Amino acid sequence: MGRLVFFFQEALRALKRNGAPSLAAIVTTVVTVVLLGMLIPIFQTAQGKSEEVRNELSVQYALFPDATKQEIAATQHQLEGLPHVAEVVFVGKGEALKTLESELEDKRIVEELKYNPLPNSFEVIPDDAANLPAIQKSIFPEGQNGKPISSIINNEFDNTFGQQKVEQVTSALKIILTVITALLVLASLMLIGNTIRLSIYTRRREVEVMRLVGATRWFIRWPFMIEGVVVGFVGGALAILILWLGKITIVDPLSNKVSVLSAQSTSTLAFPALIAILFAASIIVSTIGSGVTLRRFLKV
């Protein structure tokens, strides 16, 4: 117990004596944790939006107006039996008109219609967005000269183009954010390691003298590792304070107005869990960085 207290006293004394390198290490930790704390939720939001768009992908087929109820029921059963089809929803022309009216900014366009020009249709929902092309080929087989599998199916609504474009954009954004996150983590480890290495380099003579007078490697290493713990603790705490202030002053007030920010509340990684991970990571990286960097100076 006495030796542990001695190590802590030596670590705190060294931090005060080497204020500039210690401050640089703390600032580096703060900047790194804040950047990761901002980038990880953005990555999760992009991933969540991508999955949301994929789940909404479907294909819709218009029906001939003279189709009977028996033919509609039989065709629906036939479509439900196709591979990779999760659900087939019948959309009546009245429901389709209401949907169109809700999507239009100028409601007078619908009000001025003398009759409902929209047809009845089937909305075919795939079990996975990747299987949508296979479903389309099953409904309109290539070997039937463009004819559908049911005689009451007229044509396919081209309503998946915009959704697929959104999916492509969100998927590309997810890949870009993954690369950026990996590069940021790598750069953070190198930056923190170099900052700690600079701090230890300024005290290399002290380490060499301790080795020459017979101090063991771990006797020398423990104060430096405790310094790493202190640097990681202080840097992580300051970064968490900045992230928390940003959350309550910026993210939370705007979450009801900006859909991207509102997605943070449904993130798979909650804010307390994110904070705990970042705080633990800052301490672990600083501690390991101190211990590993010191190895080269212990070779006397």
Residue that is last in its domain, among 97, 126, 159: 159
End position of a domain, from candidates 111, 127, 159: 159
Handedness of CA 40, 41, 45, 46 (dihedral sign): negative
Note whether 154 and 170 are same-domain residues: no
Measured distance CA(297)–CA(242) in Å, rounded: 35
Distance CA 73, CA 174 (A): 41
pLDDT at position 163: 57
Do 44 and 190 reside in the same domain of the chain? yes
Q: Are residues 65 and 7 in the same domain?
A: no
Distance CA 262, CA 47 (A): 14
Domain identity same for 134 and 236: no
Of the candidates 203, 220, 235, 275, the one whose C-alpha atom is nearest the C-alpha of residue 25 is 235
If asked whether residues 139 and 6 sit together in one domain, one would say: no
Q: Is the pTM of this model over 0.75?
A: no
What is the CB-side half-sphere exposure of residue 118 using CA atoms within 13 A? 19
Q: Which residue range(s) make up the domain with 283?
A: 2-53+166-298
Whether residues 199 and 154 share a domain: the answer is no
Residue-level pLDDT at 2 = 64
Structural domains of the chain, count: 2
Q: What confidence tens digit (pLDDT) does each residue in 261-297 have? A: 555 555 556 778 888 888 888 888 777 776 666 666 6
Q: Over the chain, what is the mean pLDDT?
A: 76
Which residues of the chain, if any, have pLDDT below 50? none
152 and 213: one domain?
no
Residues 122 and 259 in one domain: no
Residue pLDDT, tens place only, 103-148: 677 667 766 777 777 888 898 888 877 788 888 888 888 766 768 8
Assess whether 39 and 181 both reside in one domain: yes
CATH number (domain holding residue 120): 3.30.70.3040
Same domain as 218, residue 109: no
Do 70 and 132 fall into the same domain?
A: yes
Q: Which of 108, 136, 159 is the last residue of a domain?
A: 159
Is residue 84 domain-shared with residue 63, that is, in the same domain?
A: yes
Q: What is the pLDDT of residue 265?
A: 53
